[in-house]
Amino acid sequence: EPEVTQTPSHQVTQMGQEVILRCVPISNHLYFYWYRQILGQKVEFLVSFYNNEISEKSEIFDDQFSVERPDGSNFTLKIRSTKLEDSAMYFCAISWGLTGQGKTEAFFGQGTRLTVV
């Protein structure tokens, strides 16, 4: 059973619409991350989340992006007003971080393919 699942697997949305991507970890991990990969480009870091707040964010993660854990379980990425250039695969990742089990490798979800038209 995967450590983390993502929904939806594919989302098509019109430019300017809001989208919410969801990530559901199986276990109680400490660190949550969102990455994206635009077709043909490298995996890019968006944001990390620890202890119910953002710990780091990249320059890509501007005001149109937000993250939260609304019920202490799901981890969501919201894009308020999508642009064509937001089309990408979005990956949620989780890890124990430096504490807990002492493991630092990340477990990835299957990704959500976002297509903005």
Q: Which residues bind another protein (CB under 8 A)?
A: 2, 31, 33, 35, 41-45, 48, 56, 91, 93, 97-98, 103-111
Shorter beta-carbon distance to another protein: residue 18 or 56: 56
Shorter beta-carbon distance to another protein: residue 86 or 111: 111
Shorter beta-carbon distance to another protein: residue 81 or 115: 115
Shorter beta-carbon distance to another protein: residue 17 or 76: 76
- Is 92:6 a contact under the CB 8 Å cutoff? yes
Q: What is the nearest approach in angstroms of another protein to the Cβ of residue 109?
A: 6
Cα dihedral: 106, 58, 55, 73 (round 10):
-60
Residues 6+ apart with CB under 8 A from 111: 6, 9, 89, 90, 91
Q: What is the nearest approach in angstroms of another protein to the Cβ of residue 56?
A: 5
Distance, in Å, from the CA atom of 19 to the CA atom of 43, rounded to the nearest integer, reads 20
Residues 6+ apart with CB under 8 A from 53: none
Q: What is the nearest approach in angstroms of another protein to the Cβ of residue 76?
A: 18
Q: What is the nearest approach in angstroms of another protein to the Cβ of residue 31?
A: 8
Residue type, 20: I
